[in-house]
Amino acid sequence: MGCFRCSGKSNKKLDEEIDNKNKNLNKQADKKQLIADTPRVDSNANLKKEEVSNDGQLSMDVKNLNLKDDSNNSGKSAKPFTFDELAAATGNFRSDCCLGEGGFGKVYKGCLEKIEQVVAIKQLDHRGVQGVREFSAEVMTLGSADHPNLVKLIGYCAEGDQRLLVYEYMPLGSLDKHLHDLRPDTRPLDWNTRMKIAAGASRGLQYLHEQLKQPVIYRDLKCSNILLEEGYHPKLSDFGLAKMGPSGDKTHVSTRVMGTYGYCAPDYAMTGQLTFKSDIYSFGVVLLELITGRKAIDQTKDRKELNLVAWLLRK
């Protein structure tokens, strides 16, 4: 990847450029444009209040997505579920069924009797417009996607003000749980497994960039969004920040900066110009985590080693 030097000492000018860039990023972090201790960059820091009401947006999203009951159709279309069905599958969203909590809602493990399958159910926060946007982005991205390295969207619920997404269940959880903060009795991933995961994630990313009818920029590639099934087969997940890529002779998409500090490409963070290369940078950070076993951002390290990329560039 072009962002990283393979070997040799840098010259003085290049080191100064790197230090200046890192200082700019640190200033942005201090201003909460990029926040290290939260799963996502604060999307509300410097934004005007939404003019469209939540209720109005909630009433439009299903219509705009053309979500229909595809239960009588063959193929891989996402199926509609009622809220009662999903509540029953999770024991009314019991706390002991909760797998984790992200920026826009909680994820529960459940068993759907309708399809006799164990699933993961994401319940989006219906109180905010951003949750509605995540619902729309997920359905638009995964609804048209079919690849072994992307998590499968099984169905959805758009009932009243409730917005839920139903995915295949990934028994081994997310990659970060197998890389960082391991228990003393846990064996680290071997080299072949790490490279298998990296190769699978890269194939999923290539599919989004090159093989979809409308190319997609993932915008949130990180270890916690790479889920693992049996055999450590990786699948990309959580497409709530996904954005349609530039078309025609356009080179980028202008958008407010969103993503995760440590994985977000510096040029995108500074300019708001989103390109496919932004995802490649994020993939490079994941690859470095796989190789080194260190976190992209590690708050337990001193300032010089806090940011994995900056630390390696100083080597």
| pLDDT 10s digits, 204-240 | 999 999 999 889 999 999 999 999 999 999 999 999 8
The pLDDT of residue 59 is above 80: no
The domains located in the chain, with CATH, are 12-44+172-313 (1.10.510.10), 54-168 (3.30.200.20)
Of 19, 190, 220, 238, which one is the catalytic site residue?
Answer: 220
| pLDDT 10s digits, 251-282 | 899 998 988 999 999 999 999 999 999 999 99
Active site residue 185: no
Spell out the SS3 assignment of the chain: CCCCCCCCCCCHHHHHHHHHHHHHHHHHHHCCCCCCCCCCCCCCCCCCCCCCCHHHHHHHHHHHHCCCCCCCCCCCCCEECCHHHHHHHCCCCCHHHEEEECCCEEEEEEEECCCCEEEEEEEECCCCHHHHHHHHHHHHHHHCCCCCCECCEEEEEEECCEEEEEEECCCCCECHHHHCCCCCCCCCCCHHHHHHHHHHHHHHHHHHHHHCCCCEECCCCCHHHEEEECCCEEEECCCCCCEECCCCCCCCEECCCCCCCCCCCHHHHHHCEECHHHHHHHHHHHHHHHHHCCCCECCCCCHHHHEHHHHHHCC
122 is in an annotated binding site: yes
Please state the rounded mean pLDDT for residues 136-158: 90
Whole-prediction pTM:
0.77
